[in-house]
Each structure stands twice: as structure tokens, then as C-alpha cells.
Amino acid sequence: MSRSSRAQDRTPGGLIIFLNGTSSSGKSSIARELLRILDEPYFHIPVDAFHAMRTRQEMPPDQLTDVLHRTWRGYHRAIAGMAAAGNNVVMDHVLSAEWRLRDCLDLFAPQDVVFVGVHCDRDELERRERERGDRPAGLAARQLEQVHAHGLYDVECDTSRSDPLRCAARVREFLADRLIPTAFQRLIDQRGGVRSPAE
Ligand SMILES: Nc1ncnc2c1ncn2[C@@H]1O[C@H](COP(=O)(O)OP(=O)(O)OP(=O)(O)O)[C@@H](O)[C@H]1O
């Protein structure tokens, strides 16, 4: 391949709409509406899809810890890869451990990330958990403190007060007139632009 054709092959990065919230906060519901109302092609890639791809065999706890860690690291890199190839992505993730955000800050082009905080009241989270019956009771409440600890977003929505379509519409409005620097850029600047050591 010639030098000039390689340069031509380079695609501008796709946009990453990063939905972050606890379990049952409504991320997947917003993602579904986003794919319905956004004009450009987008891929909804939830972290749950990666867990669902794994073999179902029982593992001893120490092996499971390693496998889960590699799954999350792989998920982040898959998202970065899709965006690097020019695909727009709706990411649906739970930043319930501090290293996950650091890893994403290291990997994603900050100007291409729209960081969306998906909030929901604790009582409503518990009600949804009971109603769903397929999530351990108290999971969302345990995640609440860490998930939003970094305290900075481009867009925020509260699914205890707005339905998924209204939340998705807020994100779409933001896309039409995006503010720079992005929340991801400001989070990188806050830590002095330092890349984190490998986890
Ligand atoms: N804005 C909303 N108002 C009322 N109910 C909602 C709203 N958003 C989601 N729900 C309901 O809450 C439950 C969880 O929604 P959803 O699957 O979108 O959350 P999630 O954040 O993707 O959860 P998880 O991470 O556990 O997969 C579903 O039963 C959904 O119908």
C-alpha cells in the first residue's frame, strides 16, 4: 500500500455517546430511543452484551475476578476501535470502579466523547429492581456513590423525572451544538494530562 493511499484510508473518529449510570438507571432505554431518533448511523454497544458473549461455565472466584477485569478492559478497547474506524457508538456502561473511567480517559479521543450522566433516585432504582426481578436487590444503591463520583458530564438526565425519549432528546439537542472542551477533555486536564499506569 502506498504512503498516500494509507493517508486516505484514515477515517475521522466516530462519536461516542457514553451513557453512565447505575444498574436499572435507564441507560438501555435511552440508548434504544437514541438509535430511533438520531439522524446518523449509531451502534448501541452495552457492556452487558460483552458479558453475555462469555462462556457460561462456573469459575473459581479468583479466575472470575481476572476474567471480569479483562472483559471490561476489552469492552473499552472495542469501543475505542469502533470509534477509531469512524463508527458512531452509544456506550452503555456502569463506572462503578474508579479505574474504569481512567481506562476510558486513556483510550478515547476526548473531543469525540459526549459524556452523559444517567441519574435516578434511590427509591425508584429499588422499585425497578423489585419489578425487574433479574438484578440482585440493592445492586444499584451500592453502585450509586462511585458511579458519579467524578462529578462532570456534558449532559445529565434524571430518569425518575423524565421518560427515555425526553432524555434521548436532550442528548440529541446537545449534539446539535456541542460545547468544547468536552467533559472528557476537562477530566483529562484535571489530572494534568497524565496517562494512568496499566491496570
Ligand atoms: N425513564 C424511565 N421511567 C420509568 N421507567 C424506566 C425509565 N427508564 C427505564 N425504566 C425502566 O427501568 C428498568 C431498567 O431500565 P434499563 O434496562 O433501560 O436500565 P439500565 O440502566 O440499562 O439497566 P442495567 O444496567 O441493569 O441493564 C426497565 O424496566 C425500564 O422499563
Task: Give the pLDDT confidence score for residue 9 in this predicted structure.
Answer: 56
Residue-range definition of the domain harbouring residue 79: 12-190
Q: Would the CB of 164 count as within 6 Å of ligand 1?
A: yes
Residues of the chain with pLDDT under 70: 1-10, 193-199
Give 116-172 pLDDT, tens digit per residue. 999 999 999 999 999 999 999 999 999 999 999 999 999 999 999 999 999 999 999
Q: Which of 48, 112, 121, 158 is catalytic?
A: 48
Beta bridge partners of 42: 88
**Number of folded domains that form the chain:** 1
Beta bridge partners of 116: 19, 155
- In the numeric block, the cell 441507560 is attached to 27
Instruction: Assign 196 to helix, strand or coil.
Output: coil
Tell me whether residue 21 is in a domain. yes
Atom in ligand 1 nearest the alpha carbon of residue 135: 26
Residue-by-residue DSSP string for 30-45 = HHHHHHHH-SS-EEEE
Task: Give the pLDDT confidence score for residue 186 in this predicted structure.
Answer: 97
Nine-digit cell string for 92: 452503555
User: Is this prediction's pTM over 0.80?
Assistant: yes
Task: Give the pLDDT confidence score for residue 1 in this predicted structure.
Answer: 44
Tell me whether residue 198 is in a domain. no
ipTM reported for the complex surpasses 0.85: yes
Q: Whose C-alpha lies nearest to ligand 1, atom 25? A: 23
48 counts as catalytic: yes
Tell me whether residue 65 is in a domain. yes
CA atoms of 43 and 91, how far apart (whole Å): 8
Instruction: Assign 67 to helix, strand or coil.
Output: helix
Task: Give the pLDDT confidence score for residue 199 in this predicted structure.
Answer: 59
Tell me whether residue 130 is in a domain. yes
CATH number at residue 67: 3.40.50.300
The C-alpha torsion from 53 through 112 and 109 to 120, rounded to 10°, is: -60
Instruction: Quote the percentage of the chain above a pLDDT of 90.
Output: 89
